[in-house]
Amino acid sequence: MQLTDGVVLLRPPVNEDIASLYEAVKFSLPELEPWMDWATGAYSLSSAQNWLDFVQAAWSHNTSFHFVIIETKTNMFLGCCGLDGINLQKKECNLGYWIRSDRAKKGIASRSSRLLVDFAFSKPGIERIEIVAGVENIASQKVALKIGAQLTGPTAKPMVVHDQVKEALLFVINKI
């Protein structure tokens, strides 16, 4: 499974991605840590391997679909994105993304998210995609709006990251 727009390539992660994933996370910790519960100073190669094992199992059970983002021109590891929280009864899922800090604000998250939206809506039963962004996470909010998500307001319950309660906004894309 590969998704591409010619600039970015999304594919399921493989064992050979572990070192690149680890390096990108460690490099980007100052930007990731406020918004990602897993992003801590204790992040290790073992953490990356555990994530890969989880993601591969989820793919095999169709419970979530996480991708690595690769720059097609250079083959550089740029970050990760994915669909999870799949609820076929409600016909919805969540979309998430992160980009390594030195490649942020270059349209990579938007490009990758557009590919994910198309992928999600090609799946039987998915008619609504939700994106949750912290009130102070302006970059993530901009990506959601750039890909056509509509701000519906605050989330029903706040985000909890590293035991800190953070207000969050809900963005929605409905299948047309």
Share of the chain above pLDDT 90, in %: 78
Tokens (6 digits) for 60: 């095999």
pLDDT in tens, 4-35: 999 999 999 999 999 999 999 999 989 998 88
What is the CB-side half-sphere exposure of residue 11 using CA atoms within 13 A?
Answer: 15
CATH for 3-174? 3.40.630.30
Tokens (6 digits) for 1: 């499974």
What distance in Å separates the CA atoms of residue 112 and residue 79, rounded to the nearest whole number? Answer: 10
pTM: 0.92
CA 49: distance to chain centroid?
17
pLDDT in tens, 104-115: 889 999 999 999
**Band (161; pLDDT cuts 50, 70, 90):** confident
Give first-to-last CA distance, the chain, whole Å.
24
For the chain, what are the domain ranges? 3-174
Q: Looking at residue 4, what is its pLDDT?
A: 96
Tokens (6 digits) for 51: 């994530």
What distance in Å separates the CA atoms of residue 84 and residue 65, rounded to the nearest whole number? Answer: 6
- Residue 141, pLDDT > 90, answer yes
Q: Looking at residue 176, what is its pLDDT?
A: 82
Q: Looking at residue 159, what is its pLDDT?
A: 84
pLDDT in tens, 74-91: 999 999 999 999 998 999
For residue 115, give the 3-state DSSP assignment.
helix
* Section 124-129 average pLDDT: 92
In this predicted structure, which of 8-12, 68-72, 132-136 has the lowest mean pLDDT? 132-136
